[in-house]
Structure 1
Amino acid sequence: MIKIVSDSSADLPIDLIKKYDITLVPLTVTIEGHDYLEKVDLTPKEFFAKMWSSEALPRTSQPSPASFAEAFSQFSADTEILCFTISSGLSGTYQSACIGKDLSDAKVTVFDTLAGSLGHGLQITRAAELAQQGYTVDEIVADLMEYRENMNILVLLNTLENIVKGGRLSKFQGSLAKILNIKVLLERVEGGKVEIFEKIRGKKKFKKRVLDVIQERGTDFSSTIFGITHTGNEEDVEALKQELIERFRPKDIIVNYMGATMGTYAGKDGIIISF
């Protein structure tokens, strides 16, 4: 029997978490001195409401090794555990899970998704489906390594306000970007880190460029599942979803709120597209 465990940053809809019986190990979110367990004490909607009203950026902390060890130890000795974590290029969660594995007596394979949000989540659902089809852990990992390598993750920043708050951009640069209506497109690069891909002026040009970039990444999307997460801009995301359906005819599109880990930096009206 294969059991899937993940940290809470995967941003999978609750129905998929239940469908595949996924165990989540929560990250800790700190807002104005108060600690919350992600998606336990604080829903994504509640998180964004608190973040918009806070002067300082929230902070997220990886689960402790003991938290992972406790999650692993709840299963029977004959259970094989496949644990997924947010990219090691973005967080220390992978290392924490590896230490948790050593602290437990369970049979655990820890897999670094080199992704965040639904880029992480799509790898979980793929693994869960393969497990249901009778694949072994080694076979699943081999498949996922190829899937992970070919995955595209685009981060659409509508505003740079949170980047300024986080100290990654000066207030002057942030103000200039706002005045010039500059939107920023980032992408996942080697090592699971995120870097600027392009800066585009104006919302209409930004939207067109994102769709063109997706087109450049493939010709046949009939077997592709898109994952879209957002920070509360449901109208924009629904329009984007319809554009993707009409233009690319994908196999499926999963839409959900972004969690605290990626949402902190995506900011107001941020979107992440994984495929």
Structure 2
Amino acid sequence: MAEIKIVTDSSAQLTPEEIEEYNIHIIPLSVEINGENHVDGETITRQELVDELRKGNIPKTSQPPVGRFIETFEQLGADGSEILAIMMSDVLSGTYHTACSAAEMVKCSVTVINSKETDRALSFQVLAAAKDAREGRSIEEIKAHCLDIHKRTTTDVLVDSMDCLVAGGRVSRLAGALTKLINLKIIVRLREDSLDVVNKGRSRKSFIKYCKDLSRFHENNRIVELSLSNVGTDEEFLERIKNAVLPENSRDAKYIARLTSPIIMTHTGLNAVGVITLAEKEEPEENR
């Protein structure tokens, strides 16, 4: 059986240790700041992007050129390996469709999965796929496993400032100005085919209340992993969120809190927090 090599994009929240251990190949996305293009993880770090946001510089994003995918696929497939590319949700980016186009242009075997996720939620699938490939599972078995993980995942983003959403055209300037006047905070949930506002409040207290409600949903469905990917959010607030989200039955959940990728920062803005959970069982449709 041919070796299966795993590819993903740089929006995935993976530690350097995970990338090395499972030999995961990352295709970087790009951000533009003041007219200058920066390649995620190559010419700009996560902390540097936070620093730019604190200066009031709001970046723009761009997906990788199709040539970057073609080059990666051809290099990895040159020895006869199969390639499994797990990409961020098409709700957020055209990266998945670019990967599909590249897959049709190369001679090697490439399967592209739309994870319908991003950040650590994308990584849940990437890591599972890498482990499955190491154990000799087929592409079809891995695809089924990724779908199962997607159905057990929820991705909420606590948006502290509307500036980046306004700059990215996702919220009108008038609405952004009005919400800034009343200090409105919002929570958005990444769903199968949309990014929906699920909660609004006037302060961070509304975030904590929402997280406590989220915790109640998991009283009968244990959280096995929790990620608080963030944009320079203070550690004390992250700890409050963690304690609010995790019910008693989930205190031993694997936990990670790291800066998110520059791509996600560009959309969410300073002090945003991605609350990403992986549950033991499939989440009801209305909870996802």
Query: Shared topology, TM-score over 0.5?
Result: yes
Which of residues 184, 187, 191 in structure 2 aligns to 1:185?
187
Report the counterpart of residue 198 of structure 1 in structure 2. 199
Equivalent AA in structure 1 for residue 221 of structure 2: D
| 1:67 equivalenced with 2:68 (yes/no) | yes
Q: TM-score normalised to the size of structure 1?
A: 0.90
Report the counterpart of residue 280 of structure 2 in structure 1. none
Distance 1:214 1:79 in 2: 42
Report the counterpart of residue 209 of structure 1 in structure 2. 210
CA RMSD, aligned part only?
Answer: 2.0
> Could you tell me whether the CA contact under 8 Å between 2:30 and 2:263 is conserved in 1?
no
Report the counterpart of residue 274 of structure 1 in structure 2. 276
| 1:227 equivalenced with 2:227 (yes/no) | yes
SS of residue in 2 equivalent to 1:152:
strand
Where does the alignment leave 5 or more consecutive residues of structure 1 unmatched? none
Deviations 1:3-35 (A, max 9, x none): 111111112122211121111111111110111
Offset of residue 98 of structure 1: 1.1
Distance 1:131 1:215 in 2: 35
| 1:252 equivalenced with 2:254 (yes/no) | yes
Deviations 1:88-140 (A, max 9, x none): 11111111111211222221111111112111111111211222233211101
Report the counterpart of residue 97 of structure 2 in structure 1. 95
> Could you tell me whether the CA contact under 8 Å between 2:4 and 2:82 is conserved in 1?
yes
Distance 1:102 1:166 in 2: 31
Offset of residue 61 of structure 1: 1.0
> Could you tell me whether the CA contact under 8 Å between 1:82 and 1:110 is conserved in 2?
yes
Equivalent AA in structure 1 for residue 29 of structure 2: L
Higher mean C-alpha deviation, range 126-135 or range 233-242: 233-242
> Could you tell me whether the CA contact under 8 Å between 1:20 and 1:128 is conserved in 2?
yes
Distance 1:185 1:245 in 2: 18
> Could you tell me whether the CA contact under 8 Å between 2:211 and 2:241 is conserved in 1?
no
Report the counterpart of residue 42 of structure 2 in structure 1. 40
CA distance 1:102–1:78, change in 2 (3 Å): same
SS of residue in 1 equivalent to 2:85:
strand
Where does the alignment leave 5 or more consecutive residues of structure 2 unmatched? 278-288
> Could you tell me whether the CA contact under 8 Å between 2:60 and 2:168 is conserved in 1?
no
Distance 1:209 1:105 in 2: 49
Report the counterpart of residue 168 of structure 1 in structure 2. 170
Equivalent AA in structure 1 for residue 214 of structure 2: V
| Length, aligned pairs only | 272
> Could you tell me whether the CA contact under 8 Å between 2:53 and 2:270 is conserved in 1?
no
CA distance 1:128–1:157, change in 2 (3 Å): same
> Could you tell me whether the CA contact under 8 Å between 1:12 and 1:256 is conserved in 2?
no
Offset of residue 172 of structure 1: 4.6
Deviations 1:128-161 (A, max 9, x none): 1222233211101011122213321101111212
Equivalent AA in structure 2 for residue 73 of structure 1: E
SS of residue in 1 equivalent to 2:258:
strand
SS of residue in 2 equivalent to 1:190:
coil
Offset of residue 234 of structure 1: 4.0
Overall identity of the aligned pairs, in %: 28
| 1:238 equivalenced with 2:239 (yes/no) | yes
